Chains A and B, each alone.
Chain A
Amino acid sequence: DVVMTQSPLSLPVTLGQPASISCRSSQSLVHSDGNTYLNWFQQRPGQSPRRLIYKVSNRDSGVPDRFSGSGSGTDFTLKISRVEAEDVGVYYCMQTTRWTYTFGQGTKLEIK
């Protein structure tokens, strides 16, 4: 199975400051169709997960443009340009390139 490793696991951030989460995969996430199926999800306290980013860098409808995704191959990053209070929660990367689909451990973002 593809192992997804996130860092850091805890991310205290001052309001208005940037934040960055790394996600590394144990194998390349490039699919045979040429796409890279790396996704980012946000889970606010008490809520279901919500997808933010798909195929590395495509932002979902309604997701603020302060969220961005980048990377390739086995190394990916989610960046928040200026953290707001509503961004508190746990962030997960997930690969859907290869069965078994796998998630990272999650990164808990909190406000300092």
Chain B
Amino acid sequence: EVQLVESGGVLVQPGGSLRLSCVASGFTFSNYWMSWVRQAPGKGLEWVASIKHDGSEKSYVDSVKGRFTISRDNPKNSMYLQMNSLGADDTAVYYCAREARSVDYWGQGTLVTVSS
């Protein structure tokens, strides 16, 4: 069974930094692109970033370019999202998702709240 478990979401002050983690199980992690998708409270879904199975390619939505960095550690079946210079607009539930030319499995999400 595919499982994706996110962690790291907390309350952080504006301008602060945070690293989210996602641990995968139930499939060969190193064979898949992986993504982060977020959802602000009461709002719709927004794709944030994706990373190729070997980490050699990454893509970001414009609003996080230069602030967020996606990475992965295949031996640890883990993916990360380093988030810097956080603002109120980054407040959201962040979902880890498996990508196979689509987004087929999602984690339960981790809540990031940016507030003073």
Contacts and interface: CB of A to CB of B under 8 A. Distances in A.
Interface in B1-20: none
Contacts, number: 55
B47 A103 contact: yes
Interface residues of A, number: 25
Contact of B104 (A60, A104, A106): A60
Interface residues of B, number: 21
A68 interface: no
Given A49-B45, A99-B59, A103-B47, A55 B102 contact: yes
A78 interface: no
B109 A106 contact: no
Task: Give the secondary structure class of A's interface.
Answer: loop
A102 B106 CA distance: 16
A103 B62 CA distance: 15
A80 B61 CA distance: 32
Given A39-B102, A51-B103, A54-B104, A101 B47 contact: yes
Interface of B: 35, 37, 44-47, 50, 59, 61-62, 95, 99, 101-109
